[in-house]
């Protein structure tokens, strides 16, 4: 039975991945593969629609068999990097099973439970024959959803053939996370804040260790689609969705694929492996954060069908003068439910937004400053460097700095039906599809 199951995976799920690896090996260019998979913790898997309290965790034979099949698949494909979400850290038997089988297959493993003993968490594994682990960090959000993230800083052990410069350290930063589910609109800001914390953590780690620009991979279940603010926020920071890149999908192609059948019966694409290469100019993180929040602000106002002039009047509140005051701005944020509750903007975050709005710093926002906010659209991804970097005058100068980046070669979702936007009825491994991406290390100019 196990051999038959593996054969099915080989024919359906891994053919494109295996083909990419063979093609690259034929051209003497080794690959890195990365898999992200929400494996549906047994404590959340419902066994009956009629009895919502009946969970798989109550039936050892069920959860053991399902997780054994998951491990069979993971070890059959042997991705260089494995990022799992909803890993049942609260069950010692399951944890030992994963750690032993992955360890026997020469993986380093790192697990992290959600705060407040929620029972599940994350597991990240990397192959010992591919990577040397430089550092491992844990990020605890201490927020409403008790969410966490893992940061793994690794170095490729064997220099790749196209990267012969011995001065170039071939390093990657890997992040694994599982964002909060948007149970209602009040949590949209909290989800955005979680991503902001991750990027702040990565940025601080790079500065603390004086790292040169390094490829960053953000893996996991983002609990949001390509329509959402999280997607737009990451795109504004220069990240690309590896799956969409491999299939040449645009940001507008948001119904081409799915990866999740949620507890409400909705299908959506929420699992991503984001890539930021070191040849991308990154906007200041706080600027992207402010733009993201202003994007939510404008969406809420436009949903009420307010015109530009009506919105300006709304923000002026009771002020008869032709400008917006800080108190009027704060009142508007509260009326839009962006402040005044546990998940809302903090005083510090509100002040940062005001600084972005009050461009000339005179303590008020006039109509011209308001128009800049109102008419500004989401900034697209960062510019890519070709043969040079911009100088202070806006020109381009030759860039002598070289570094290692990653090229997306292929990406596959399993089961294959989800690549066409359909959820198969006979799929029982999880309520998520797994995503595997093939990368090739390449030499490129960096945005130093």
Please provide the size of the chain in residues: 448
pLDDT at 330: 93
pLDDT at 388: 40
**Cβ neighbour number for residue 260 with a 10 Å cutoff:** 21
* Nearest one of 119, 128, 118, 393 to 110, comparing CA atoms: 128
pLDDT at 387: 41
**Cβ neighbour number for residue 201 with a 10 Å cutoff:** 17
Measured between alpha carbons, how far apart are the two ends of the chain, in Å?
53
DSSP letters, 24-35, are HHHTT---EEEE
Give me the average pLDDT of each 10-residue run along the chain (448 residues): 42 53 56 97 87 86 98 97 98 98 98 96 97 98 91 85 61 97 82 96 96 95 91 95 96 89 89 95 88 89 85 84 92 90 89 92 93 74 47 44 91 97 95 97 81
Asked if residues 271 and 244 have their Cβ atoms less than 8 Å apart, the reply is: no
Determine the distance from the C-alpha atom of residue 47 to the mean position of all C-alpha atoms in its chain, rounded to a whole number: 30
Q: Report helix, strand or coil for 359.
A: coil
Residues 179, 181, 182, 186, Cα dihedral to 10°? -70
Distances 194 to 14, 189, 343 between C-alpha atoms, Å: 32, 9, 11
Give the phi and the psi of residue 344 in degrees, each rounded to 5. Answer: -80, 180
For helices 367-375 and 308-316, what crossing angle results, to 10°?
A: 120
C-alpha span between 445 and 384 (Å, rounded)? 10
Residues 41, 85, 430, 343, Cα dihedral to 10°? 80
pLDDT at 307: 85
pLDDT at 17: 62
Domains (range + CATH), the chain: 2-283+398-445 (3.60.10.10), 288-375 (1.10.238.10)
Indicate the burial class of 127 (C-beta count within 10 angstroms; 0-12, 13-18, 19 or more): buried
Q: Give the distance between the most distant pair of CA atoms in the chain.
A: 77
C-alpha span between 239 and 261 (Å, rounded)? 25
C-alpha span between 430 and 188 (Å, rounded)? 25
The side-by-side arrangement of strands in the sheet containing 240-241 is 131-140, 148-156, 171-178, 216-221, 271-276, 240-241
Q: Report helix, strand or coil for 296.
A: helix
Give ∠ CA 186-190-196 in degrees, rounded to 5: 150
pLDDT at 20: 56
Q: Is the peptide bond before 334 cis (omega within 30 degrees of 0)?
A: no
Give ∠ CA 260-263-264 in degrees, rounded to 5: 100
| Helix residue ranges, H only, 325-416 | 326-335, 347-357, 367-375
Which is it for strands 81-87 and 32-38: parallel, antiparallel or unpaired? parallel
């Amino acid at each position: 039975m196990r051999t038959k199951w593996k054969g099915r995976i080989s024919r359906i799920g891994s053919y494109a991945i295996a083909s990419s690896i063979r093609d690259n090996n034929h051209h003497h260019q080794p690959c890195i593969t990365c898999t992200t998979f929400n494996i549906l913790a047994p404590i959340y898997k419902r066994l009956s629609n009629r009895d919502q309290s009946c969970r798989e965790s109550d039936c050892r034979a069920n959860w053991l068999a399902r997780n054994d099949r998951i491990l069979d698949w993971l070890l059959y494909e042997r991705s260089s990097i494995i990022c799992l979400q909803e890993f049942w850290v609260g069950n010692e038997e399951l944890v030992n099973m994963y750690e032993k089988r992955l360890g026997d297959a020469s993986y380093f493993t790192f697990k992290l439970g959600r705060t407040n003993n929620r029972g599940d968490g994350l597991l990240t594994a990397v192959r010992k024959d591919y990577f040397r682990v430089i550092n491992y960090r844990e990020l605890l959000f201490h927020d409403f959803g008790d969410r966490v993230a893992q940061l793994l800083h690794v170095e490729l052990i064997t220099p790749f053939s196209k990267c012969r410069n011995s001065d170039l350290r071939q390093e990657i930063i890997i992040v694994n996370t599982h964002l909060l589910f948007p149970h209602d609109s009040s949590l949209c800001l909290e989800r955005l804040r979680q991503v902001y914390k991750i990027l702040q953590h990565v940025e601080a780690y790079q500065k603390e260790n004086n790292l040169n620009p390094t490829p960053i991979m953000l893996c996991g279940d983002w609990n949001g689609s390509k329509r959402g603010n999280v997607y737009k926020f990451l795109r504004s920071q220069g990240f690309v969705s590896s799956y969409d890149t491999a299939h040449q999908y645009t940001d507008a192609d948001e119904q081409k694929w799915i990866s999740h059948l949620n507890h409400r019966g909705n299908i959506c694409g929420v699992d991503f492996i984001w890539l930021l290469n070191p040849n991308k100019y990154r906007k200041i993180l706080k600027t992207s954060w402010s733009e993201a929040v202003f994007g939510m602000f404008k969406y809420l106002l436009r949903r009420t069908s307010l015109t530009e002039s009506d919105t300006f009047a709304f923000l002026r509140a009771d002020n008869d003068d032709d400008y917006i005051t800080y108190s009027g701005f704060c009142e508007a944020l509260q009326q839009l439910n962006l402040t005044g509750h546990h998940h809302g903007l903090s005083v510090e975050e509100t002040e940062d937004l005001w600084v972005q709005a009050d461009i000339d710093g005179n303590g008020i926002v006039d109509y011209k400053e308001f128009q800049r906010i109102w008419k500004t659209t989401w900034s697209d991804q960062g510019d890519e460097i070709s043969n040079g970097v911009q100088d202070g005058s806006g020109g381009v100068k030759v860039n002598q700095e070289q570094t290692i980046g990653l090229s997306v070669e292929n990406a596959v979702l399993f089961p294959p039906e989800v690549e066409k936007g359909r959820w198969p009825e006979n799929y029982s491994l999880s309520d998520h599809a797994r995503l595997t991406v093939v990368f090739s290390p390449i030499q490129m100019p960096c945005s130093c």
